[in-house]
Amino acid sequence: MTDPTARTGKLATEAFDLLIDAVAQIPPQSWDQTSNLDGWSLRDLVGHATGSAAKIVTLIEDGEIWGGPSQPADWVCEDPAARLGKLAARLQDALPSVDLDAMRASPEGEVPLHRALTFPVADLAMHSWDVHRSQSILVELPEDLLALCRGLVESLPEDMLRRPGAFGPPRPAPEDSTPTARLMAYLGRSVDGPG
């Protein structure tokens, strides 16, 4: 595995691309349908993920970030795909000159930027899967993003992982499940049958 500092920009870009692709596949009439996350519509889910995308860009630009996860209502807008496209353009503009070892605020306190990006980049990757799953499509995360997500999940104590607003209790995964499906089932997502 390569140095985490060297691969962070690539992972952020890859997670953005996954979310943009997932959002592009949502038919206009489906935005208000229920997502695979209890109590959230597809619009709510994309709103939350857009907040994570904005957090990535803000961290890289060394702006002021907010504490805690993004609430869906904070980021719901008329054209989520356009908003994500603008955030992706800002990311590409800022990445070439960013110091990934610069200190930034994170849930763990002040850490190097490449570490602070772990939570929101993993969030984008996992919620890209959720957007697809909400449309009855199972996708496999790219190996490097899956490793990032799995590493983050394994680093969290069980009580933090399962606290309210985080992840639900583990669910069963069929024996022939892919590595991504197994991770998502562990995080409380249904991975068998229709979305």
How many other C-beta atoms lie within 10 A of the C-beta of residue 158? 7
CA 138 to chain CA mean position, Å: 16
The residue range of the domain holding 21 is: 4-140
Tokens found for residue 138: 């199972």
For residue 178, tell me if it sits in a domain: no
For residue 90, tell me if it sits in a domain: yes
For residue 146, tell me if it sits in a domain: no
For residue 89, tell me if it sits in a domain: yes
How far apart (Å, rounded) are the C-alpha atoms in residues 121 and 78?
24
pLDDT confidence tier of residue 3, bands split at 50, 70 and 90: low
For residue 15, tell me if it sits in a domain: yes
What pLDDT sits at residue 68? 64
The DSSP bridge partners found for residue 34 are 41
For residue 98, tell me if it sits in a domain: yes
pLDDT confidence tier of residue 151, bands split at 50, 70 and 90: very high
For 72-103, how does the pLDDT look when each residue is reduced to its tens digit (9 = 90+)? 555 566 788 888 999 999 999 999 999 999 99
How far apart (Å, rounded) are the C-alpha atoms in residues 35 and 40?
6
For residue 93, tell me if it sits in a domain: yes
Q: Name residue, tokens 């959230």.
A: 40
For residue 28, tell me if it sits in a domain: yes
Q: How many domains does the chain have?
A: 1
- The single-letter DSSP state of residue 166 is S
**Residue 188 φ/ψ region, left for φ over 0, alpha for ψ in the -120 to 50 degree band, beta for the rest:** left
The domain that holds 95 is classified in CATH as 1.20.120.450
Q: Is the pTM of this model over 0.85?
A: yes
Average pLDDT of the residues of the chain: 89
- For the four alpha carbons of 123, 121, 130 and 28, in that order, the dihedral sign comes to positive
